[in-house]
Chain A
């Protein structure tokens, strides 16, 4: 009965699993994650098999036919030790093989085979991600947030820091997770074989915003990546034209304390850098897709959409909203 229910349920689960953006178990990509996925399949298959064997043994042990005998009789103690010897022996052999296999996989995914071409520093904040692209030439460094672009087929080194409490960086389809610990710089690497968008999620409990702290890794062709990178390096270009607008003033007045827009006086560091806000796919570390409507909804109702967020809900008049929206639309 129980198991029939499971089978029915697992069909429904498999159907929904196909779309799950964090489903690393069936859909891992790249050399930092794939060997682990195969290890997971092997271990899960083995575990299910062992569960069935033990369940079978247990049921047989319980229900096997026995000679009817005096109910007061007590069987003697000595027998049965071979069960323990054989069972433990087989378990030990299996575990020994698993130790070797799992350590081999660990060594495969611990370090990339070639030196990473790109180094990115990701810093966890309550509750968003600051992303810094490093470069030997300081002019070519740039900062963005909540969205990482990488070129397909290249390994990328990610340095992990935290600005406040412990977070964990996890893009499961590309690699396992690593904690971001204040006072410490951890490292991991990722590499995507296939272009696409890979969702990431904070997996170390970090407070009220923990559920709303995701990021995206966009893997694209080398040309597209270069194009994106060059665009990100630019300061905000259209802003200067708008300098006299009320939207600009409103932004400087109300937003610039926390947010930076390169090329303007907005230099706040408490929140995400908004220089190329409109180039991003999602808002507020994954809460909403990035559309102009959603953006204004977010500004007005941040505390509703992401309770406890450091971003307040702003009460703005209609005219302020349209002015601010106009200004924000220039950040692309």
Chain B
């Protein structure tokens, strides 16, 4: 054991010191001490107070997946209703609530949170850090997400769920035409969820710029990190638009303002602008990290690094920059001048160029590599095909005059499902197959895995491809039934059959998870022989992630010896020890040079209670319990003050005396 000998510390050593550099193999005193410093208290106390990014990440994944299942069941009920013409399984109002909640659930409660789950779990592991920049904000972000999800479903059992579609156009969602609590639940729930997303985004951005392992310069971070960073920056800029829109709508409904009130000069189109200025960047926010999953995991199964790393990273950011310029393509039919339509139509076509970069980079990676046909690979390869289909139907809708036909028909439904299932769900499930060994220490069954892929892939295409044709046959979205004379019978029957096959695929996947959790083969730290940093930690990783903070020399720290590059080698077993409390290394934003030793906060109940009080505040607003709202707001502020209260000194939780090594000489 080499425990550093560089102890030439500054006189004021609690404010400045030379970090110890050395090894801490499993079972060494140093490693035991780290575990004691970082591990969460077991039991319910730890359950409510933990700020471990891995726990939070898994919670995000599980919660978001439950929402996916709920949204999926809603979809199946709708498909049963639409399987045959003129059925009356559902009333129109029930159907409207179902499709609205299906959209809200999938887009807001599943698609981004599941990616936040991956990023939360993986971010510090990919970057070589012991935690996120703001561990407690991380916990807060999860709790608010959970409470917002419950909030938005609160009126569902009463038959009063949101019913105006996920984009909730006024004046239909306004006080005159929608008098129940349906829309208020949606409006306040979205503002609440916006807090969670914003807080999470800030955390990702700051973590990326401050918490990378030394040597991991900005051009060495994994593409998933680029994707999540881009999505997070976009969220910071775009989320306020939708939060504001929903807040103004709530004011219109409950206070009597007139922003969208046509009779008094309000403008319904204002809603569409605000919503889509948010909505389009959001679409990219829920696919770019998923594309990052593929860009990072696909190379592992191709036994070579990604082709065109720089091009793909730049394409990711270019997509988002352009993504802010195309919101009007959701509004081509609103009667805007032809010139505006032309500009936004052209921009909407141009935005597929960065996507082409990624597609050809993936295909080249497979072509030049030696593919290993594991389940995850199948999901990623299938994803590439679905991405192309969804992308091409997107180009078709970017042609303005054609969009005036396709818009609001099933063609759009087909397009958005190819995009959201193809580019989000397939990489996500592939990603779970890929990282499950890291999450749990066990492998998933390959046999069940391949069954799940083929059933899902075939079911998906049978289910969703005919929707294109339904759209070309003129079937509008959001109709609860249709007449046989419209000629839509067979396409709808096929779609319904396909959607149930797809659901069976998801069930096989779930069964695989449950079985593998108990009986899967033990994984070891790097079962796929992958290249990135998370595979250098044990599976599952210990509470402190890295016994020593590694020093990184390339994008593929675990493949360096075999890549035969003439660059320096990463230092994985020797690194920064940092064990005087909850510590990790802060580095400079671009070059990742060590600049500070960060004292990380420990577990705390504050995030849970802040989340709870904020959510109860929104309950108060919803029910017009103004005193209750005031009290919860005050409670929230008090908890925040306790949270923020500085310590007298920077002393932190240290390990018990038994493992204290400070007196020991090397």
Contact = CB atoms under 8 A, between A and B. Distances in A.
Nearest to A95: B349
Contacts of B469: 10, 13, 17
Contact of A64 (B342, B367, B486, B531): B367
A105 B399 contact: yes
Contact of A75 (B92, B304, B398, B405): B304
B315 to A, nearest CB: 9
Contact of A2 (B404, B461, B491): B461
B306 to A, nearest CB: 8
A40 interface: yes
A172 B405 contact: yes
Interface in A148-205: 160, 164-166, 168, 170, 172, 175-179, 181-184, 186-187, 201-205
Contact of B395 (A47, A69, A105, A204): A47
Contact of B262 (A72, A91, A99, A182): A182
Given A16-B490, A21-B486, A181-B268, A58 B363 contact: yes
Interface string A75-92: 111011101101110011
B93 interface: yes
B615 interface: no
A181 B245 CA distance: 18
A102 B402 contact: yes
Interface residues of A, number: 99
A23 B486 CA distance: 9
A62 interface: yes
A228 interface: no
A66 B363 contact: no
Given A182-B262, A206-B172, A20 B461 contact: no
Contacts of A113: none
Given A40-B405, A106-B338, A58 B92 contact: no
Given A165-B171, A201-B476, A88 B356 contact: yes
Contact of B404 (A61, A176, A182): A176
Given A58-B381, A81-B307, A84-B364, A207 B172 contact: yes
Contacts of B465: 6
A50 interface: yes
Nearest to B261: A183
Interface stretch (B231-239, B287-295, B477-485, B533-541): B477-485
B335 A203 contact: no
A83 B494 contact: no
A308 B93 contact: yes
A211 B92 contact: yes
Interface in B346-375: 346, 349-350, 352-353, 356-357, 359-361, 363-371
Contacts of B482: 211
Given A47-B393, A77-B305, A203 B407 contact: yes
Interface in A1-42: 1-2, 5-6, 9-10, 12-13, 16-25, 33, 35-36, 39-40
Contacts of A58: 363, 366, 381, 384-385
A73 to B, nearest CB: 7
Contacts of B177: 126, 164-165, 207
Interface in B36-75: none
A83 B363 contact: yes
Contacts of A184: 268-269, 335
B475 A22 contact: yes
A19 B564 contact: no
Interface hub of B305, B365, B457 (most chain A Cβ within 10 A):
B305
Contacts of A2: 457-458, 461-462
A101 B398 CA distance: 12
Given A168-B408, A176-B401, 20 more contacts: A6-B465, A9-B494, A43-B395, A57-B367, A69-B370, A75-B304, A75-B368, A95-B349, A99-B349, A103-B400, A105-B399, A106-B345, A165-B171, A165-B177, A201-B476, A210-B479, A211-B92, A211-B482, A307-B91, A308-B92
29 contacts: A2-B461, A5-B462, A9-B494, A13-B469, A16-B489, A20-B486, A21-B474, A54-B385, A55-B388, A58-B363, A73-B562, A75-B304, A75-B368, A77-B305, A77-B563, A84-B308, A84-B360, A87-B357, A88-B353, A88-B360, A103-B345, A106-B341, A164-B177, A181-B269, A201-B476, A205-B164, A205-B172, A207-B172, A207-B177
Interface of B: 91-93, 96, 164-165, 169, 171-172, 177, 262, 266-269, 303-309, 311, 333-335, 338, 341-342, 345-346, 349-350, 352-353, 356-357, 359-361, 363-371, 381, 384-385, 388-389, 392-393, 395-396, 398-405, 407-409, 457-458, 461-462, 465-466, 469, 472-482, 485-491, 494, 529, 531, 555-556, 559, 562-565
Which 5 A/B pairs are nearest by Cβ-Cβ distance? Answer: A22-B474, A176-B404, A20-B487, A87-B360, A75-B304
